[in-house]
Structure 1
Amino acid sequence: MSGKQSHQAQSAHLNQGNEALVLRQDKDGVSYLMLNRPKAYNALSLGCMQALVHQLGLLADDKSIKVIVISGSGKGFCAGHDLREMKEGGTEAFYQETFSTCADLMAKIQSIPQPVIAKVHGIATAAGCQLVATCDLAYAAADSRFATPGVNIGLFCSTPMVALTRAVHPKQAMAMLLTGEMVSADKAEQVGLINESVAPEELDARVDQVAQLIAAKSSYTLKVGKGAFYQQRDMTQSEAYDYCSRVMTENMLAHDAQEGVDAFLGKRPACWQGR
């Protein structure tokens, strides 16, 4: 698959009826994954999460893809777990499978080598807000809104809390979790849940701009940097410096770092080889 050509949307292996739960389109080194349950505000059914995990697994091994963008179809990004499905499932085993699959999905987003960008419009609530907080970067339309409203229906957003408390200030996270109130895109940007809010008509262009800026870098360097970011953040400062010193030493010995330094000193564009 060429990173220089636009491809037709490819369906994930899991479907609901005749419709794919996740649509994929690759263009110029960027893979665009779209949640495809518009009538349910892209609620994360078990099948939808499994389809997304499947696509992310395929992309992790695709050297032509340097950046991944996750978006939602229809009127909103993602309304969280599918409460109707969970009610109908009704057993402890089904609940455990749902939440375990969700945890696997969030872990997959942060463990794959490519940076993952959330492109948010409409609402991102509960596990949808968790998805935004988990992605490496997040950009949102200025009229989008965010919430962890489980408390309103007697179901505290405990799993969304894991990602939320690692993305925003504890007091801000606790306010969202305890009140269940909607947060504006401006507020979400202020507290660090998203990188930037932009006019709705500018969202696609802004995300494409950021994705292409990142895609122009060495894929090896992106992989090293993303992996180190998540490894070091739960270490003590001393442990983090020891670990990152080893990472930087290994990085410096790699071909792309040597090429990058030579290109900088020679005032020429670098020619990355992803190693």
Structure 2
Amino acid sequence: MITNKVIAYSLFCLAIAPDFGPSFGLLFALPVNGPLAGRRPPHAALSAMRKQWSEAERDKILSRSGDYWKMDRLRGKVSFGSSSFIRTALDGADKDSIQRWLADDRSIAMSIWDPNLVSNPLPKVYRLKLMTLMFVTIQLAPSVDVKMYTDDKTGVFKLESVAFEPGIQLLPGIKMSAESLGIVIDVVGELYPSRDGKGVDGKIGFVTSGDLPPPMRMLPEQAFKSSMSTINSTIMKFAQESFQKGAREKFREFKRKESTATAAT
């Protein structure tokens, strides 16, 4: 029976979600497997790497445009995300210099995220730490491991999540395990020189999925769509703005190093 207490609690959860921004999405979707969809994330080392991404899996996410969402209310399963183009002009760029820069996975990794929050646990795998998030009685301190490399055949720089640690902490008295939330996130992306050679173009997409606690399954569909749309736009805006700023800075640094090396020879 759906009691007034259950409905009130559900509405309360939804009402405070915007105050925590991406935490609402991270709680139910993060599995990027990076969480790797369907794959248990390693808690320390990357001992359980995700299988190699297939082009079909990547294309499924990257071929979308804008927001995506799917919900099975009966089973309590939900998944949502967004895919968007990335276009960034780079000062003094041409196709050859951009292609050389894209071959430097470390420089690209530091362009995508705050360098102070990035570590390099394995070759071409970068661990990106997120800020601590709080959702009702659940605290998250997530990190996601992302493989970054240049495709030798196409010259396209690719990124794909390979592992995820949600860093969930449940407050005392909460009768729910972190595992029961089924948190998972899939993230993929690609970068390549723009047609005019003056910058980089690309696309990034993510899908978050997980299990909704019973009280939240009672919320109306429009409420979910509205909340998820806010989360998607917040995440995408942050990702795009971070890369545009970081890419310009790191590319200028790359060009300076090349010039210095050339002058020294």
Which category of TM-score, normalised to the shorter sequence, fits these structures?
Answer: under 0.3
> Structure 2 length as normaliser, TM-score?
0.26
> Structure 1 length as normaliser, TM-score?
0.26
Flag the structure with higher helix content. 1
Higher RCO, 1 vs 2 (CA within 8 Å, ≥6 residues apart)? 2
Flag the structure with higher strand content. 2
